[in-house]
Amino acid sequence: MAQVTGGLGVAQTRRLIQEYRARQAFGDFGQWSYAYRQLLNNNWNANIHAEWSPYWINCATWYATCYVSTTQDGSNVLTPEYRTLPGWSGGNQIPLTIDSSATEAHVTFNPIGANMSCQLVYRDTSGVIRYGVPVSSGDCSIPLVNVLNNVIVAVICNTDYIYSGETTRTAKFNYTLTMGAGVTSKADINTKWYDYNPATFTITASAGANGTINPSGAVSVNSGASKTFTFTPNQGYMIDQIILNGLPIGALESYTFKNVHGNHTIAATFKVNVNDTQAPTPNPASFSVSPVAINSSQVIMKAEIGFDASAPSNIYSKRLPAISAAQTASGRKVRFIRILVWQRERNIHTL
282 cis-preceded (ω within 30 degrees of 0): yes
CA separation for the pair 217, 282 (Å, rounded)? 30
Span 79-116, pLDDT tens digits: 999 989 999 999 999 999 999 999 999 999 999 989 99
pLDDT digits (tens, 9 = 90+) for 315-333: 444 444 445 544 444 444 4
Please report the pLDDT score of residue 318 as a whole number: 42
Q: H helices then E strands: how many in the chain?
A: 3, 24
Rg over alpha carbons for the chain, rounded to the nearest Å, is 32
Q: Specify the pLDDT at position 329.
A: 47
Q: Measured at the alpha carbon of residue 104, what is the angle toward residues 153 and 193, in degrees to the nearest 5?
A: 25
Say what the pLDDT of residue 9 is: 85
Whole-number Å distance between alpha carbons of 249 and 289: 44
Question: Which domains are delineated in the chain?
Answer: 9-48+64-186 (2.60.120.380), 200-272 (2.10.70), 287-350 (no CATH)
What integer pLDDT is reported at residue 287 of this predicted model?
55
Distance (Å, whole) CA 67 – CA 82: 13
Q: Which residues does the chain have with pLDDT short of 50? A: 279-283, 307-309, 311-322, 325-351
In the prediction, which pLDDT does 30 show? 85
Helices assigned H by DSSP within the chain:
9-24, 33-43, 166-169
The predicted structure's pLDDT at residue 62: 86
Q: Where are the beta strands (DSSP E) in 234-332?
A: 237-244, 247-248, 254-257, 264-272, 287-294, 298-305
- State if pTM tops 0.85: no
- The reported pLDDT for the residue numbered 288 is 60
Residue 250 confidence (pLDDT):
95
